[in-house]
Amino acid sequence: MAAQSSDKFANTLFDLITGHRVTAVIYVAAQLGICDLLAEGRKSATELARLTDTHERALAQGVGPCRGRHAESRMGPADRISPQRKN
């Protein structure tokens, strides 16, 4: 993915063009019951894949954006997934 510009218009346009991805991630997480599973506590991608009967790497890549909309790093299988809490 290309780095975002410091130009406010360019950033807004980028968000509009790629916004459907956020909706898709939320839809998949809802269909798999990820939020319900995370309500029970933190889980690794491996645990979530087992509990949802999904492919671990695909789940990690698909649900990874839930960790933060503009997260820089990719999530690996050993990473922990937890709901974000607002301070």
**Distance from first CA to last CA of the chain, Å, rounded?**
29
Global pTM?
Answer: 0.56
pLDDT in tens, the chain (87 residues): 555 557 889 989 888 888 888 888 888 889 999 989 988 888 888 999 999 999 999 888 877 766 654 333 444 444 445 544 444
pLDDT at 24: 87
pLDDT at 85: 45
What domains, with CATH codes, occur in the chain? 8-81 (1.10.10.10)
**Count of CB atoms situated within 10 Å of the CB of 1:** 5
pLDDT at 63: 76
